[in-house]
Amino acid sequence: MLINGIKGDEWLGVSVMAYLEANHIPKDRVVVEVDGVIVPSVLHNVTFLKLDQRVEIIQFVGGG
Amino acid sequence: MHTSRGVNITWNGVPTFTQFQTTDSFIKAHHSDADIIVYNGCAIEDSMPLISGDNLVTLVKKGLPSKALLREMMVCRHSPGVHNALCNATVGIAGLGGLGSHVAIALARMGIGKLIIADFDVVEPTNLNRQAYLVSHLGCFKADALKRQLSEIHPYTDVDAHVVRLTTENTMGLFETCDVVVEAFDRADQKAMLVNLILSEGNMPIVAASGMAGLYSGNLIKSKQRTSRLFVVGDERHEATPGKGLMAPRVLIAAGHQALVVSQLITGQLDFDHNNDMR
C-alpha cells in the first residue's frame, strides 16, 4: 500500500478515520482518494486501508 | 534569372501581396501613423526585411483594436494552436479573492474564451493588500467588480459573473460546462468541499491552492499533480495566522502557478507527470 507515494503497510486494516485522527488531520479539511476514487467523509469510518491500494491524502490549509 | 519581387504576408490579419521589401517601406505606404509594429509576434523598432509568410501588425497606441485584429495579435504571440485552444476554453473560478481575481486576470490576458466566476462577498478595505481590486470597487460585489475590470483588460473574453455562495447543491450546475475549475477559496474546509465535489461529481480537472501565507521564500510554492484530476499549488504548509498573514507577493505567485497549470491543461502542454517529475 502506498500513502502519498510512500509505503504505508503499517496502516493495513486501519480505517481512513483512524488514520486521519492518528495523524492529526482534520476530516473537514481533507481529500482522500483510494485507487482513484474519492472517499467522502461520511465513509471515512467504514473504509479500511487494504494491501496494494494507492491512497492519496491531501490536507488543505487556509488562505487565498 | 528573373525572380518575382513580391511577397505574400499577413497584415493586420489580412493576406496581403506586396512589392515592398522591408517593414519600414511597407508601413510608410500603408499605415504611416502606426506607432506600434509587431513583426512575427515580436514588437520591433528597426526595419526588418519582409519575407513571404511574415505576420505584420501595425497599430496606433491609443484605441482598442478590433476583435479580429486583437485575435491576430494573440495568435501571433501564442502560436495558432495555443491561441485556438485557449479561446475555445471555459474556465470556472470559485472564489474571487487574492487567488481568484489574479487567476482571472492572467487568463483574460491570455485570451481565454469564457470565464465563469463566482463569489458571494463584497470588496472591502482589507482586500486591497493582495486582491486585484481598486478603491473605486469598495462595497461592490467582487464578481461584478472583477467582470468590469476584465472587460478593460480583454474585452472579448466572455465573463459569466455570479454573486453566490458556492455549496454542494449549486456548484456543479454552475461549473458543468467548464474545461477546468480553479479552487480559489480562503477557508480550508471550503477548499476541501469543492475539491471533493469536483472529483466525485465532475469530470474536469481542478487546480487548487494550499499554503501561500507569510513572507517565506516564493521558491517553496510549487505546482503538483496529486491525483489524475487534482493539481495543488502552494507550499501546502503556511496557513494565514496572526503575524503571518496573506500578503500580495506569495498570493500572486500562487495565482500565477494556478493560471499556468490551467493554461498547460487547456493546451496539452503539462510538463510534469503524476509523480511530479519534469517531463
- Give me the DSSP letters along B187-251: SHHHHHHHHHHHHHH--S-EEEE----TTS-GGG-EEEE-SSSEEEEE-SS---BTTB---HHHH
Which residues, at least 6 apart from B241, have a Cβ–Cβ distance to it below 8 Å?
A: B213
| Average pLDDT of chain B, as a whole number | 94
Which candidate, B89, B131, B93, places its Cα nearest to that of B110? B89
Collect all residues of chain A within an 8 Å Cβ-Cβ radius of residue B236: 59, 61
Residue B228 in contact with partner chain A when CB distance is under 8 A: yes
What length is written for chain A? 64
* Residue type (1 letter), B33: D
The answer to whether residue B275 scores a pLDDT higher than 80 is: no
CA-based R_g, chain B, Å: 22
The confidence band for B103, taking pLDDT boundaries of 50, 70 and 90, is very high
Q: What is the DSSP letter of B157?
A: S
B50-65 pLDDT, tens per residue?
A: 999 999 999 999 988 8
The whole-angstrom distance between A4's CA and the closest CA on chain B is: 8
Look up the pTM and report it.
Answer: 0.92
Mean pLDDT to the nearest integer, B9-36: 95
Tell me the three state secondary structure of residue B132.
coil
3-state helix, strand, coil in chain B (%, to 5): 35, 20, 40
Give the Cα separation of B269 and B40 in Å (integer).
22
Ranges assigned E (strand) in B19-170? 36-39, 42-44, 55-59, 90-94, 114-118, 158-162
Average of per-residue pLDDT across B258-275? 90
Could you tell me which of B129, B125, B153 has the C-alpha nearest to residue B140? Answer: B125
For cell 486501508, the residue is A49
What SS3 state is found at B17? strand
pLDDT (tens digit per residue) in B241-250: 888 999 999 9
- Identify whether the C-beta of residue A38 lies closer than 8 Å to the C-beta of residue A32: yes
Per-residue pLDDT tens digits for B206-256: 999 999 999 999 999 999 999 999 999 999 999 998 889 999 999 999 999
pLDDT of residue A48: 97
Q: Output the nine-digit C-alpha cell for B71.
A: 485575435
Given CB atoms, is B95 within the 8 Å cutoff of chain A?
A: yes
Are B210 and A38 in contact (CB < 8 Å)? no
How high is the ipTM of this complex?
0.96
For residue B1, what pLDDT is reported? 44
Would an 8 Å CB–CB cutoff place B35 in contact with chain A?
Answer: no
For chain A, give the percent of residues with pLDDT over 90: 100
CB A57 within 8 A of CB B195: no
Mean pLDDT of B86-113: 97
pLDDT-based confidence at B147, cuts 50/70/90? very high
**Residues in A touching B257 (Cβ below 8 Å):** none
> How open is the CA angle B119-B94-B249, to the nearest 5 degrees?
95
> Which of A29, A33, A56 lies closest to B192 in CB terms?
A29
C-alpha to C-alpha distances, B125 to A11, B130, B134, B240, nearest whole angstrom: 48, 11, 9, 18
List the alpha helices (DSSP H) in B116-210.
142-153, 171-175, 188-201
Angle between helices B248-267 and B98-109 (to 10 degrees): 50
pLDDT of residue A41: 94
Beta strands in B35-156 (DSSP E): 36-39, 42-44, 55-59, 90-94, 114-118
